[in-house]
Structure 1
């Protein structure tokens, strides 16, 4: 089943499959709901799985003006209300993980559990010179990606981000096929809008402390150093956080290791009821 949901001036394209306790999947920057295609078949055998294009991405629209991460969080809560019965397991990748954390903090009753993969909470990397250096390096590459998009080189900006911030050198061609690369380039303007949101990296995971929402972070054993630092910061902010490694994976286990990542998700969903 698929359709469109109007919320906050945007129209979100969505799909739903399976039956059972609902799970909502939130994609990261640059891509869309199709990035979850490797995990939906396994999850939908025991769960109702909802996925959607975030506002401004691919088949979803966005109104004129500066977008915000708060709008993304409110969109997610609307998706939970309208398509998942008001309460669901929330799973997010990268920037979508930040959206999940913010939505769950704003309304804990909407989250049966939270599983996030390496949210880019770079604002949390303070107090340690090594972590601050990683943050500064990532900021420099993001500025470069934005500059390239602004002068009309969307592919150059996308490749700069993918290889220097998101996934590592060589990932542009090794991790993404031609269709995925085309999707990334097509969503470059939306990433640029996101990049201009002053609050995009400042989600506070500590807001979930004491809410009773079970929170787990998955992390690839071969991920980039900056995401290792973010996971460590998350563990410091949330004492009850469960950290689940994905062996051999990097920043996108749903793409590179879908079977292992699906099995990990299913184990976590069973554990949290």
Structure 2
């Protein structure tokens, strides 16, 4: 069931709801919308009321904001939570969606339990980080309508994808999917601030049960971020998924059992 609800600044958000039980909100990251978390939602729907939504500026959600502000995305998520049964929910976030979920819990939104997969911030001082000006260049490309250039900049300079690989991606059917969602990339970069080493206080004040997960085949950058959450959030567990990397949403059957156990109140980290 798809609904359209209005956020604080008038932005319309497209929201899907399926299943029955305690509510769980799924939050995708860069190049993602509610379609990319749908398979995971289907795995969780027999156990929970699963809510997924297009973050502002992507999919069927618009963007009435005048600039990029994390506060607007928090308002959006607060609006989603207000429309769930009981006005509160557990959260699962992937990549920059994980960062948004962490921000929501840190700011005291109505979150019961929090699970994050490979948040996209910088947490290892020994790993290279981009210059802060990459954010302004990305915004400029989006403002000029150059979605192709924005996608390339993001992939090459922010995820480390080789230019040769991007050239190959341009020849695939998947490129059009990325281009359609590229105008929303500044939101992901604003949340992640990849040029800035994670300040511990950004997550150390979270006071809800938290599960941080990463795949043992992912990049050092992303595994470091997940481990930082496991270390800095007071009531956090850390779990490593064998054989997985950042594309875990394409293999929801490997992630879903862990989330079901956690959201139902189970525990038992693998460190």
Equivalent residue number for residue 2 of structure 1: 2
Aligned 8 A contact 1:29 1:95 in 2 = yes
What per-residue deviation string (whole Å, max 9, x for no partner) do you get for residues 31-66 of structure 1?
211011221121001110000001111110111411
Q: CA deviation at 1:271?
A: 2.8
What per-residue deviation string (whole Å, max 9, x for no partner) do you get for residues 229-271 of structure 1?
222332332243211112211113112x211011221122223
Aligned 8 A contact 1:80 1:86 in 2 = yes
Equivalent residue number for residue 83 of structure 2: 82
Q: 1:259 to 1:41 in 2, by over 3 A?
A: same
Q: CA deviation at 1:13?
A: 0.4
In the alignment, the residues of structure 2 paired with residue 24 and residue 4 of structure 1 have an alpha-carbon distance, to the nearest angstrom, of 15
Equivalent residue number for residue 15 of structure 2: 14
Q: Which one has the bigger helix percentage?
A: 1
Equivalent residue number for residue 154 of structure 1: 147
Unaligned 5+ residue runs, structure 2? none
Instruction: Figure out how many residues of one structure are paired with residues of the other and give that number.
Output: 256
Aligned pairs for 1:112-151 (under 5 A) are 112-122=112-122, 124-125=123-124, 128=125, 130-131=126-127, 134-136=128-130, 149=142
Aligned pairs for 1:191-270 (under 5 A) are 191-192=185-186, 195=189, 197=190, 200-201=192-193, 204-208=202-206, 211=207, 213-255=208-250, 257-270=251-264
Equivalent residue number for residue 71 of structure 2: 70
Q: 1:171 to 1:41 in 2, by over 3 A?
A: farther
In the alignment, the residues of structure 1 paired with residue 242 and residue 146 of structure 2 have an alpha-carbon distance, to the nearest angstrom, of 35
Aligned 8 A contact 1:142 1:161 in 2 = no
Unaligned 5+ residue runs, structure 1? none
Equivalent residue number for residue 106 of structure 1: 107
> Any idea what SS the aligned residue of 1:219 has?
strand
In the alignment, the residues of structure 2 paired with residue 32 and residue 166 of structure 1 have an alpha-carbon distance, to the nearest angstrom, of 19
Aligned pairs for 1:28-67 (under 5 A) are 28-67=29-68
In the alignment, the residues of structure 2 paired with residue 243 and residue 43 of structure 1 have an alpha-carbon distance, to the nearest angstrom, of 20
In the alignment, the residues of structure 2 paired with residue 38 and residue 167 of structure 1 have an alpha-carbon distance, to the nearest angstrom, of 27
TM-score between the two structures when normalised by the length of structure 1? 0.81
TM-score between the two structures when normalised by the length of structure 2? 0.82
